[in-house]
Amino acid sequence: MKITLIEKAGWEKVARAEDPESGLLAFIAVHDSTLGPALGGMRLWAYDSEDAALTDVLRLSRGMTFKSSVARTGLGGGKSVIIAPASAKTPELFQAMGRFVESFEGKYTTAEDVNVGIADLLEVRKETSHVTGLPADLGGSGNPSPATARGCFVGLKAAVGAAFGSEDLNGKVVALQGTGSVGMILGKFLVDEGAKLVVCDVNQANLDRAVAELGATVVEPDAIYDVDCDIYAPCALGATLNDDTIPRLKCKVVAGAANNQLLDENVHAQQLLDRGILYTPDYVLNAGGIINVSIEFDEGGFDEARASKKIDNIHEALVEIFATAKAQGITTHAAAQQIAETNLKEGAAAQTA
């Protein structure tokens, strides 16, 4: 395996790995470990280019820093991506990825993300101990998707309360972009409280489940932005909020599980504010998974009750962010950044004291 370091201003360590024998081509990025070891999921995706994969891992790792900072997980921000289609998954590929993770010597710990499940992580674990989210019988917290969905749900209710004056979801229409592992669970929470779903997905099996189990109405992927709804919930890949899509939105709230929803954080957060749409900062809303995993690092190991209580705090964190943004006349993204950066500065100061 050939590992090449990549210098990136603002990131502590970025590396590229290529292993011809297993077919691995991957990047790992550690953005900031001020508050603790960098933790972030492993994503497998058929990127159009290495540049696209590198851009993604940089954005995602930075987002993890702020996510863990606001959630006070005691962890830093990192991420890993593998350039490959899902059909290319093999034990050898993930074992090679495990060796790549191990080369960071504990500076980066991995977990599940898009197209990477527990079975894959078990192969990674054969080559490194720096893996979280494993089954309970191995001392782990298991699949983080339910925890992510739970956090999104309680946070979405906070957003609905701020935008509509009541957290009641009965009769609310939600345009759900992506009905995969997190989106489907979030959809169930919403339907159970009387919401109506309009969904899109590139996976027909996911759509079939959403129709059968949630009574959802299906639209084409590009049509989701034009749905007349109360809430737009992006739960697929990032950058869906941009110059092209924001003018098309017909909602009062944006609240979903996807990472890096804003193509340009400052510009597009302001565009949403100008349109009177309440944006729920993604890295606060979708922190349930990382909070769940972070409990594995506590003394005594993972405890589900402790994790659930901490996940439910996402609601109050967002209430505070919405109030701060309103009081200061700034975007909700800027308000969340204030909290994240304050926590990072306090962590850095504590280390030098």
> How high is the pLDDT of residue 237?
81
195/215 Cα distance (integer angstroms): 10
Q: Which two three-digit tokens encode residue 7?
A: 């210098």
pLDDT tens-digit map of 129-186? 999 988 888 878 888 899 999 999 999 999 999 999 999 999 999 999 999 989 999 9
Residue 353: predicted pLDDT: 60
Q: Which of 345, 334, 310, 351 is nearest to 72 (CA)?
A: 310
Can you list the domains of the chain with their CATH numbers? 2-62+76-131 (3.40.50.10860), 145-288+314-341 (3.40.50.720)
Q: What is the pLDDT of residue 298?
A: 86
CB neighbour burial string for 243-279, b if at least 16 within 10 angstroms, e if fewer? eebbeebebbbbbbbbbbbbbebeebbbbbbeeebbb
* Burial (CB count <10 Å: 0-12, 13-18, 19+), residue 220: exposed
Give dist(CA 134, CA 137) in Å, integer. Answer: 8
Block residue for tokens 């992580």: 121
- Residue 322 CA to residue 312 CA, distance in Å, equals 17
Residue type, 130: H
CB 172 within 8 A of CB 333: no
DSSP assignment of 72-110 equals T-S-EEEEEEEES-GGG--HHHHHHHHHHHHTTTTSEEE
**Catalytic positions, written as ranges:** 79
What residues form DSSP beta bridges with 41? 111
Residue reference for tokens 């990477």: 116
Q: Cβ contacts of residue 51 below 8 Å, gap of 6+?
A: none
Beta strands in the chain (DSSP E): 2-5, 13-19, 24-32, 38-45, 76-83, 108-111, 173-177, 196-200, 217-218, 231-234, 253-254, 278-279
One-letter amino acid of 13: K
What pLDDT shows up at residue 135? 87
CA nearest neighbour of 259 among 14, 118, 61: 61
Q: Rounded to whole angstroms, how far apart are CA atoms 154 and 152?
A: 6
Q: For each of the chain's 353 residues, which pLDDT tens digit applies? A: 999 999 999 999 999 999 999 999 999 999 999 999 999 999 999 999 999 999 999 999 998 999 899 888 889 999 999 999 999 999 999 999 999 999 999 999 999 888 999 999 999 999 999 999 888 888 788 888 999 999 999 999 999 999 999 999 999 999 999 999 899 999 999 999 999 999 999 999 999 999 999 999 999 999 999 999 999 999 998 889 999 999 999 999 999 999 889 999 999 999 999 999 999 999 999 999 999 999 998 888 888 999 999 999 999 999 999 999 999 999 999 999 998 888 898 888 877 76
| Cα 279 to Cα 208: distance, rounded to the nearest angstrom | 29
CB burial class (10 A; 0-12, 13-18, 19+) of residue 308? middle
